Amino acid sequence: MIDTTPWKWEHVWAALPDMLYAFVTVTLFVTILGSVIAAVLGLGIALLRKTVPGTVSAVITFVVDFIRMTPLVIQLLFPYFAFPHLDPLMIGVVVFGIHYASYMAEVYRAGIDAVPKGQWEAATALSMSRRRTWTAVVVPQAIRSTLPALGNYVISMFKETPFLTAITVIDMLGAAMTYGGQHFRSIEVVTLAGILFLIASYPTSLLIGRLEKRLAY
């Protein structure tokens, strides 16, 4: 007989250990590594689009737009089925990194475009090389102005990790749903998953807000 009691705390405590384990080993793991890949690759893409010939830049732009306009789930499923010998967790890390790199590249590009023209002229007047101008003048200013937006994408990546269940990777929400299916109790574990996501993301959101205000001055 199915238990119809509205709420039972014992299911919260019973599911919590597995959910926390999945949170650390999958949700946080994918978010942290994926964010590093996205930040570095996104910056590289933005710099390439600004420095390579127009034809090459157009090709890069097309690839970036294609990634941005394709659902994340499809991007996860394609390598999962195309390369069945690869570790699904590593597929998730790489796909998340590449997917969000396409968004971060646009943020970096906007930051580069926002660097005042006078900064370029000053670098030229000081006889700085093109490479030195980019590394010492343009990129630091662009990154400084884009940090809040980049942080928001990290939070978005964190909240989209449940898509990993599409490639058999059990994240925190996946662990919750597994418990709910086994015990026919979903309300407790789904609520718990939402609370854990909130506990992890809300302080980060506040930090990003403070950072944005600080960098505005």
Full-model pTM: 0.89
For 182-210, the pLDDT digits (tens) are: 988 899 999 999 999 999 988 888 888 78
Pair 32, 204: CB distance under 8 Å: no
What spatial distance separates the first Cα and last Cα of the chain, rounded to whole Å? 63
* Whole-number pLDDT of residue 3: 59
Instruction: Name all domains of the chain by residue range, CATH numbers in brackets.
Output: 9-215 (1.10.3720.10)
For 26-65, the pLDDT digits (tens) are: 999 999 999 999 999 999 999 999 888 889 999 999 999 9
Pair 62, 152: CB distance under 8 Å: no
129-138, 174-183, 208-217 — which is least confidently predicted? 208-217
H-type alpha helices, 52-71: 54-69
- Mean pLDDT (the chain) is 90
For 46-56, the pLDDT digits (tens) are: 999 988 888 99
* Whole-number pLDDT of residue 46: 93
For 134-159, the pLDDT digits (tens) are: 877 888 888 888 888 898 999 999 99
